[in-house]
Amino acid sequence: MKALVLTAPSEFSYETAFPDPTPGAGEVLVKIKACGICGSDIHGMDGRSGRRQMPIVMGHEAAGEITEVGEGVTDWKVGDRVTFDSTEYCGECEECQAGYVNLCPDRKVLGVSPGSYRRHGCFAEKIVLPQRILYRIPEALSFEKAAFAEPVAIALHAVNLADGIEVGEAFADECEEGDCGACGEGCGHDHGEAHEHGQEEIRGGVAVVVGAGLIGLLVIQSLKARGWERVIAVDLDDKRLELSKTLGADDAFNAKQENLAMHLREITGGDGADASFEVVGAGAPVDLAVRCVRKGGQVILVGNLQASIPFPLQEVVTRQITLRGSCSCAGEYPEAIRRIEDGSIQVEPLLSAVAPLEEGAGWFKRLYDNKEGLLKVVLKPE
């Protein structure tokens, strides 16, 4: 099969005879129709992060069609349109049983290869996946849009971690056996009966999102979709700040503005925002995220660019601020798919280009150089 292989730091090989995978028991073979280039792929391609040990087929934001099913697979069939969790979790450990599949001690991330495992990803024609991580996608939803399910789920997960949410009316739907269109296979519900798929969570409050890259823009939309009263965007790029306002941000400020933390506290009641979301992963953005929230406020840390940073400890301690790390996602895929389909989270404005997989190396370089303001590039094997 065809595959785009990272062979050395920032060097790719487009291979046409990469070994074909074969599904085993409980697995399916998926023909990849679209796969997005993630920021972590860009940060990992030069080898500095240690999470892309070459050679490796990267790619984990994908969607496709089942072309073969392994032994024991009964709820999926050839032709089913699917997206899937970027994390291959065991489903049996204490964390998985508690719903924290993102913290599974035996988890593997598609297209990532640190430590003792190597898990090729989706910049290829085909991939084998365990059936437990699959989710159905509606016929009307394009594969390119469905490939956004993973980053949208990450944004929703971060918003889920903010405390003080008031839970509104739950929504219910009925699904037929083996065809849970709203929540995907593995939902645990009795099929054929109406059941709750999730809850519309509404929270009135003020949030600051530090970093208006792709995930930051999705966090902004997730907050507004959940009913947050006021969302403020911060970034160094004025064009992205303008886009953030188009996508729902009520205010937007350049991070270079003098005394910005104090200004944000003044315009949010004098003491600060209820919550902030740091979506960069560097010292200055984290410092701002901490200083712009109120006493007793909360900071959700999503960015993961740098392994360690200077930290405003005294600010956190004396103002009793809560910090929470947000890792990947844990069950947010059904809502992500639904919100992409109904437009309550818009992904089209974030799609910079769709290109053939064979042109992937060039697009990786353009994203790495970061001179064009590209957000999401989706590669297609065919």
In this structure, are residues 107 and 92 in contact, taking their beta carbons and an 8 Å threshold? no
List, in sequence order, the alpha helices (H) in 209-282. Answer: 214-225, 238-246, 260-267
Q: How many CA atoms does the CB half-sphere of 178 hold within 13 Å? A: 7
The pLDDT tens digits of the residues spanning 46-80 come to 888 778 889 999 999 999 999 999 999 999 999 99
The predicted structure's pLDDT at residue 382 = 84
The predicted structure's pLDDT at residue 224 = 96
The predicted structure's pLDDT at residue 192 = 42
Q: How many CA atoms does the CB half-sphere of 368 hold within 13 Å? A: 16
Residue tagged 């991330």 (tokens): 109
What CA–CA distance (Å, rounded) separates 346 from 22? 35
The predicted structure's pLDDT at residue 185 = 44
The predicted structure's pLDDT at residue 178 = 46
The predicted structure's pLDDT at residue 184 = 47
188 beta partners: none
Secondary structure of residue 286 in the 3-state scheme: helix
Residue-level length of the chain: 382
The predicted structure's pLDDT at residue 204 = 62
Sign of CA dihedral 68, 71, 74, 75: negative
| Phi, psi torsion values for 361, nearest 5 degrees | -60, -40
Residue 366 corresponds to which tokens in the numbers above?
Answer: 């353009």
Residue tagged 């991939």 (tokens): 127
What CA–CA distance (Å, rounded) separates 74 from 67? 14
Domains assigned to the chain: 3-148+347-380 (3.90.180.10), 166-202 (no CATH), 206-325 (3.40.50.720)
In this structure, are residues 31 and 67 in contact, taking their beta carbons and an 8 Å threshold? yes
The pLDDT tens digits of the residues spanning 316-360 come to 999 999 999 999 999 999 999 999 999 999 999 999 999 999 999
Segments in the chain below pLDDT 50: 164-179, 181-186, 188-202
The predicted structure's pLDDT at residue 168 = 40
Q: State pTM to two decimals.
A: 0.90
In this structure, are residues 350 and 375 in contact, taking their beta carbons and an 8 Å threshold? yes
In this structure, are residues 87 and 37 in contact, taking their beta carbons and an 8 Å threshold? no
